[in-house]
Structure formats: structure tokens, C-alpha cells
A and B are shown apart, each in its own frame.
Chain A
Amino acid sequence: MDNLAQTMQGIPLEYYLWLSVILFSIGVMGVLLRRNIIIVFMCIELMLNSVNLLLAAFGAYRDDTNGQVFVFFVMAVSAAEVAVGLAILVMIYRNTKSVDIDELSKLKW
């Protein structure tokens, strides 16, 4: 435990902030860049994970367990979301024979 306290003095909280911001921006960039639905979905997972990391980091630095409990609930919701989302994706592929996200532009008009 003392070892850990030294660790946390060595790594400022800002580092976790920057890491999470970079990962979140990469996720946003992937959502904007790719047309494959599966990769867009994975980029959303990446964004969720960066937020989870930041929640856990804030919780650990403030010695507060609530942050990690929230990470658990975010994980639970994202697992449910992935199950339903991949089912929708399979159905889309079955109907359109494509995973191109620009095929689904009917809501645009």
C-alpha cells in the first residue's frame, strides 16, 4: 500500500486526464472516419473505456469508491448495449447485405 502511495505521487492525475482525452478523441475520429458499422461500434466502446478510466482515476485519487461503482454500471450498460447493437447489426446485414453505414440514410430525408 505504501508502494502504491508513492506510485500515485509519481503519476499526477493530469496524466490520466490527458490519456483519457486522447483516447476519447481517437474514438470520435474513428466514428467520423470509418463507414464500417462494426468499427464505428468499436470506436464507441473505446470512448466508453476512456471515460471509465477517467472515472476510476478520479475515484482512486480522491480515495472514493463511488467512482469505481459507476465504472461497474457503465460496464454493465455497455455490455447490454453491445449485445443489442450487434443483434441490430446482424439484422441490418441480413436485410441490406452490407455493413456500410451510409446505406442507412433513409432517416436523412
Chain B
Amino acid sequence: MTVNIFYALSVVAVLSALMVVFTKKPVNSVLFLIVTLFCIAGHYILLNAQFLAAVHVIVYAGAIMVLFLYVIMMLNLTEVLQVNKPDLLRIAAVVSGGILLIVLVGSLKGLDTVASGGVDSTQSGLIERLGYMLYRDYLLPFELSSILFLTAMVGAVMIAKSDEKIIN
């Protein structure tokens, strides 16, 4: 039963990831990427990481993808002529992506005992343990990430602001 859920989520995730790459319009790419991200959130729920799934949906589907959609809307990209690479480069890109896949699969194939899998009950995704870990052991990186956000915010505003002084 749950294996079937895993297979369904995986198939939808991989197909929509392929559609992200191969679809023409950027808006459709964003929507397919949202489908992929929701499938990954489903995988997190299967792994008993409910809080991680919630944060994933909020951060990715709620914030980052909306940012992408806003940028596409601001740049009016649906009317922009989509230029493609030459056919030779496209074939080379697909082939090298496939070769990377083969190399990774081949190098990981021998690891038949990656994990024991004998976990009786995994509690690690529950919010109590996550909160203890985040606010006790990882308190300094947690606070530093807020500084990172502040710098990113200031930097984004500074960069995206139209600067007449430089143009003149």
C-alpha cells in the first residue's frame, strides 16, 4: 500500500521534473516544478517528517515559487521569443545528463548495505526532537541564518532597485 504511494509520488515527481526541463513556456515550468515540490513534500510525510513537509510546502510552494511567478510576470516572459540551443548542443546536454545518471547509479549500485533499515520506530521527524535539536545544538547556526536572511533581503533590494545614478 505505502509502497504504491511511494511509486505514485515518485513517478509524478520525475515526470513533472522532466516537464520542467522540456516545456516551452516558463510559467508552465514553474507550475510543473510546484507539482514536483508537492510530491517531495509527500515523500517527507512518508518519512514521518511532518514538520519538514509543512515547512517545505510553505517555503518552496508558498514563497520561492511565488517569487518566480512574480519575476516571470514582471518580465512578461510569455511573449519573449524562446530561443533554443543548436541541436547538437541539445543532444549533447541530454546525453551528458544521461551519462551522469548512469555514473551515479553505477557507483551507488554496489552499496547493497547502505542502511540496515531495521529502525523500529522513527521519531526523528517529530517536532519536539527537531525543536530541541534546532534550539539547543544548532542555536548558533540558527541565529546566523537570520543574519543571512537580513543580508539577502538588503542585497536583493539593493540589486533590483533601478539605479539612475549609474546609468547617467
Interface residues of A (CB under 8 A from B): 1-2, 4-19, 21-30, 32-36, 38-39, 41-43, 45-46, 49, 52-53, 56-69, 71-73, 75-84, 86-91, 93-94, 98-100
The 10 closest A-B pairs by CB, nearest first: A29-B97, A80-B152, A32-B93, A25-B101, A30-B21, A87-B160, A87-B156, A87-B159, A60-B47, A33-B93
A61-B67 in contact (CB<8A): no
Residue of B nearest to A61 (CB): B115
Residues of A within 8 A of B26 (CB): 36, 38-39
Residues B37-54 near A (CB distance < 8 A): 37, 40, 43-44, 46-49, 52
CA–CA, A67 to B129, complex, Å? 12
Residues of A within 8 A of B98 (CB): 25, 29
Q: Number of B residues contacting the other chain (C-beta, 8 Å)?
A: 83
B97-A25 in contact (CB<8A): yes
Report B126-147 CB contacts with A as 1/0, cut-off 8 Å. Answer: 0001100110011001000100
Chain B min CB distance to A7 (Å): 4
Residue of B nearest to A60 (CB): B47
Report the number of A-B residue pairs with Cβ-Cβ less than 8 Å.
238
Residues of A within 8 A of B137 (CB): 69
Residue of A nearest to B71 (CB): A86
Chain A min CB distance to B8 (Å): 12
Query: Contact check: which of A9, A16, A83, A98 meets B156 at CB < 8 Å?
Result: A83
Chain B min CB distance to A91 (Å): 6
Residue of A nearest to B27 (CB): A38
A83-B120 in contact (CB<8A): no
A69-B48 in contact (CB<8A): no
Q: Does B88 contact A (CB under 8 A)?
A: no
Residues B90-142 near A (CB distance < 8 A): 90, 92-94, 96-98, 100-101, 104-105, 108, 114-115, 117, 119-125, 129-130, 133-134, 137-138, 141
B64-A100 in contact (CB<8A): no
B115-A49 in contact (CB<8A): no
Chain A min CB distance to B11 (Å): 10
A26-B43 in contact (CB<8A): no
Chain B min CB distance to A49 (Å): 6
| Given A24-B104, A46-B36, A4:B122 Cβ within 8 A | yes
Residues of B within 8 A of A75 (CB): 55-56, 59-60
CA–CA, A102 to B143, complex, Å? 39
CA–CA, A36 to B77, complex, Å? 10
A53-B59 in contact (CB<8A): no
